[in-house]
Every structure is written in C-alpha cells, then in structure tokens.
Amino acid sequence: DAGITQSPRYKITETGRQVTLMCHQTWSHSYMFWYRQDLGHGLRLIYYSAAADITDKGEVPDGYVVSRSKTENFPLTLESATRSQTSVYFCASSEGHREKLFFGSGTQLSVL
Amino acid sequence: GDSVTQMEGPVTLSEEAFLTINCTYTATGYPSLFWYVQYPGEGLQLLLKATKADDKGSNKGFEATYRKETTSFHLEKGSVQVSDSAVYFCALLSSGGSYIPTFGRGTSLIVHP
C-alpha cells in the first residue's frame, strides 16, 4: 500500500534495552522526520533527514540514533531506553521545501 | 526564531456551535501556514493551508485566512459536529527554502451531541 507506515504500533520495553522503531514510505520523498508527542509539549522534533545518508539533530536528539541508508526507510533507535522516553513517536515525510508533511500512525512506546 | 502560538484547550462545544481556534505566529518573510488535524489514535493530517497574505484555505467546512498584518491564521467552522473532535495543530514553514515546520502545541476540541 502506498503511504507511510510505522512499526510496531505498540511497544513495551524495559529500561536499558535497545529499541528500534521503523518507518517506511513509498513515495520516495526526500525529507523525513521523527517527532515525539507528549502531553504539555506538543510535537518535538527528534531527528530529520534531507536525503539518504544525510541526517541532522532536531530539538530533542539525546538518547536517540537514526540512519537513512535508503530513501524510503528512516529507523529510529533508542540505544538504552529510559522511562523519560515513554511517548508516542511519529514519523513523517515531505516532498520538499514549503510542502506539507505526511504522518504515519505512530508508535506508542512504554518504557518500564 | 520562528514560533507558533495557539490557544490552550480543551475547547468544549455543543454540536452545531461555531468554532474558532486562534493561532498567531512569529516569522521573518512570508511563511506558508498550515492547519493539521489529529483524530484519536492517528497521526496528523493536513486540514488546510495558505501560502500568501490574504489567502483563505478551506476544507471540510473549516476555513482560515492568512492575515499578514496581525500575523494570524485562525481556524473557523460554522457548525461543528461530534466527528470534528480532535486535536488541531497550527504550523508554519518559513520562506527561504526551509522544509522543517514549526508547530504550535495543539488545541484539543471536544464536541458534545
């Protein structure tokens, strides 16, 4: 199916474990983004990417790692999960400058 | 830097009431302005947008007018439905080649039958 998909939809993990959230888009959009959504904070940008092999830090990158070896995939890894990383994570993509974002359905992550 | 300020929610209305959600922005130049909507359990999706001053974006009965003089992009709907219950985000994209939007914090709308 065309679009942007995230997996898993729900994830429960323990502190200290490594977790990878997947994001895949079928449009070949150049730009991709990872956000986290928390009550009282709205959306906060974690990392973004302008093209394959080009990534940059956003507002809250600490504790996260991204890669973009292929245009269509943009995985987000929590190297050693902490309780403060409990959140809903959204991946998004766009065609380019001044264009709207397309969002995935989100991954709800709980770190116990 | 760029910023977007939205009215705090939740906004609670009865069905068929008039809706206004205020949004003001700070940006240099001529940004593009957007309203996104997030239904429960889903990601954000574009509701409407405007790219230059005095443009009116509209979709699904919602409207917003790009007001350069007041740096505002207020969202309005004449008669809300229960199905409009969602979180609404105002956002901007700066001119000059930016592709990273600045989002407001979101306003929750609850519509009662």
Q: How far is CA A33 from the centre of its chain?
A: 6
pLDDT above 80 (res A7) = yes
Residues of chain A in contact with residue B104, where contact means CB-CB under 8 angstroms, are 42
pLDDT tens for A52-87 read: 999 999 999 999 999 999 999 999 999 999 999 999
Do the beta carbons of residue A21 and residue A109 sit within 8 Å?
yes
CA distances, A4 to each of A53, A79, A105, B38, B66 (Å): 19, 24, 8, 16, 29
Chain A residues 73-92 with CB within 8 Å of chain B: 90, 92
The predicted structure's pLDDT at residue A109: 98
Q: Does B113 reach chain A within 8 Å, measured CB to CB?
A: no
Pick the closest to residue B48 from B62, B27, B68, B67 (CA basis): B62
The predicted structure's pLDDT at residue B94: 86
Average pLDDT, whole number, for chain A? 94
The predicted structure's pLDDT at residue A15: 98
- Best of B100, B102, B105, B108 to disrupt the A interface (most A CBs within 10 Å) is B100
pLDDT above 70 (res A95) = yes
To which H or E segment does residue B30 belong?
none
Distance from CA of B20 to the nearest CA of A (A): 20
CA distances, A40 to each of A61, B10, B105, B108 (Å): 19, 12, 8, 12
To which H or E segment does residue B46 belong?
strand B44-50
Three-state SS at B84: helix
The predicted structure's pLDDT at residue A1: 59
Chain A residues 11-70 with CB within 8 Å of chain B: 31, 33, 40-43, 45, 48, 50, 58
Range ranked top by mean pLDDT from A13-27, A34-48, B1-15: A13-27
Average pLDDT over residues A5-24: 97
Residues of chain B in contact with residue A99, where contact means CB-CB under 8 angstroms, are 93, 99
**Partner-chain contact A101 B46, CB within 8 Å:** yes
Q: Does B32 reach chain A within 8 Å, measured CB to CB?
A: yes
CA distance B67 to B52: 9
**Partner-chain contact B99 A104, CB within 8 Å:** no
**Partner-chain contact B43 A41, CB within 8 Å:** no
Do the beta carbons of residue B72 and residue B22 sit within 8 Å?
yes
Three-point CA angle A102, A37, A46, nearest 5° = 75
- Cα-based torsion angle of the residue sequence B6, B10, B16, B21 in order, rounded to the nearest 10 degrees: 0
In chain B, the N- to C-terminal Cα span, in Å, equals 41
Beta bridge partners of B34: B49, B91
The predicted structure's pLDDT at residue B68: 94
The predicted structure's pLDDT at residue A92: 96
Residues of chain A in contact with residue B101, where contact means CB-CB under 8 angstroms, are 101
Three-point CA angle A5, B87, B66, nearest 5° = 100
Nearest CA in chain A to B40: A105
The predicted structure's pLDDT at residue B97: 67
- Per-residue pLDDT 10s for chain B (113 aa) are 889 999 888 999 999 999 999 999 999 888 999 999 999 999 999 999 999 999 999 999 999 999 999 999 999 999 999 999 999 999 999 887 678 899 999 999 999 99
The predicted structure's pLDDT at residue A111: 98
The pLDDT > 90 percentage for chain A reads: 88
